[in-house]
Amino acid sequence: MAENSGRPDRERMVWRGVVEEYRRFMPVNDKTPIVTLGEGRTPLIYAPVLSSIKSAKVYLKYEGGNPTGSFKDRGMTLAISKAAEEGSQTVVCASTGNTSASAAAYASKAGMTCAVLIPEGYIALGKLAQALIYGAKVMQIKGNFDQALEIVRELGENSEKVTVVNSINPYRIEGQKTGAFEIIDTLGVVPDYHFIPVGNAGNITAYWKGYQEYYKEGISSSLPKMMGFQAAGAAPIVLGHVVERPETVATAIRIGNPASWDNAVRARDESGGVIRAVEDSEILEAYRFLATKESVFCEPASAASVAGLMKTEVKPGSVVVCVLTGHGLKDPDVAISQISVPEAVDATYEAISKELGI
């Protein structure tokens, strides 16, 4: 079979997940059991319409292509592998949804118990379904993400038995930095600008770390400007103070007190970038634009990066990467709210022809 395959270089097509593929940059050893679902190597999609609008070369790093449909898998493979190495039986996290889906999947793969705390009423349906179907113990709390994270921190401090797999777990950041490696490996150059949504601020921290590591190793020869975007109703870093009651349609980034606040500010300042706010209306506009003009369906929070690009001037001819952090199917309710659902039509050839105008 292999010899007859029309696909070139078959060996290279086997992808072992981000920990093995970037092992040299990972804090693992011979005794680390690598728990993987083959995450990473997500599409980097050229965006012709955006490129034309911005007079730049714009690419979308589509993290919805990961096994549980979000970028969280990059960090979770390492966090769960290290938890397994340390003999942990139970992992716990607070989540706006994607972390819980990813933790539930990787914990299940490792044979561990997973407990997740999520804000009641503010988690997208797809994410809730995922956490439940992978078998996690799901606790909806009568509070928001920030309150959930406080409780999880306390659990971690008071019990040896549970491992916290939020991005305060440093292995999460180490795994997530592979997104930056992939972008450089795929493009062959470092982008001039890196646009990214900011919630708890782990991902902007991770990408900046990844870009810096390739630079220090001499693999790359420049660094991008880090361009972070928070939802206007949940923009503590932009405002410079904690937001007690964060609100946004992008529930994934409905966070008022980010755990990696200082690191995000450092990434912004060291790279000469910005962290700004985008309105919900701008997020939804970018969300619809991506689906209809670039044919990429992401979740609302992901569109914050492109909403940011829409209103930011970039140098003509520059290379721009926007990270789309999660899959559109994560949040079917928002998708359906943005379109008009068609009425049922008679099941006849005539009725359908009439509808089609043929």
The contact set with ligand AN7 (CB under 6 A) reads: 70, 95-99, 167, 197-203, 252-253, 299, 301-302, 325-326
Nearer to ligand AN7, 191 or 258 (CB): 258
State in angstroms the smallest separation of the CB of 324 from ligand AN7. Answer: 8
Residue 326 to residues 61, 97, 197: CA-CA distances in angstroms?
10, 11, 11
Amino acid at 337: S
Q: How far is the CB of 131 from ligand AN7 (least distance, A)?
A: 10
Amino acid 10 reads: R
* Residue whose CB is less far from ligand AN7, 198 or 334: 198
Closest to ligand AN7 by CB, 17 vs 256, is: 256
Q: Which is nearer to ligand AN7, 57 or 264 (CB)?
A: 264
Least distance between ligand AN7 and beta carbon 283 (Å): 11
Secondary element (H or E) of residue 162: strand 162-164
CA distance 19 to 150: 29
Beta carbon of residue 278, minimum distance to ligand AN7 (angstroms, whole number): 12
- Looking at beta carbons only, is 57 or 130 nearer to ligand AN7? 130
Name the token pair of 19: 């920990």
Comparison of 21 and 63: residue with beta carbon closer to ligand AN7: 63
> Closest distance between ligand AN7 and the C-beta of residue 342, in Å?
28
Q: How far is the CB of 168 from ligand AN7 (least distance, A)?
A: 11
Nearer to ligand AN7, 201 or 319 (CB): 201
Shortest gap between Cβ of 198 and ligand AN7 (angstroms)? 5
Helices (H), the chain: 18-21, 48-54, 72-85, 98-110, 125-133, 145-158, 170-176, 178-187, 202-216, 236-239, 261-271, 280-293, 303-310, 332-337, 349-356
How far is residue 354's CA from residue 358's CA, in Å, rounded to a whole number?
A: 6
Please give the structure tokens belonging to residue 90: 């139970």
Least distance (Å) between residue 96 CB and ligand AN7: 4
Q: How far apart are CA 306 and CA 250, in angstroms?
A: 14
Q: Give the SS3 label for residue 163.
A: strand
User: How many residues are there in the chain?
Assistant: 358
User: Using CA of residue 245, residue 250, residue 252, residue 253, what is the dihedral sign?
Assistant: negative
- CA pair distance 346, 355, nearest whole angstrom: 10
Q: Does an H or E element contain 92, and which? A: strand 90-94
Nearest residue (CB) to ligand AN7, 67 versus 202: 202
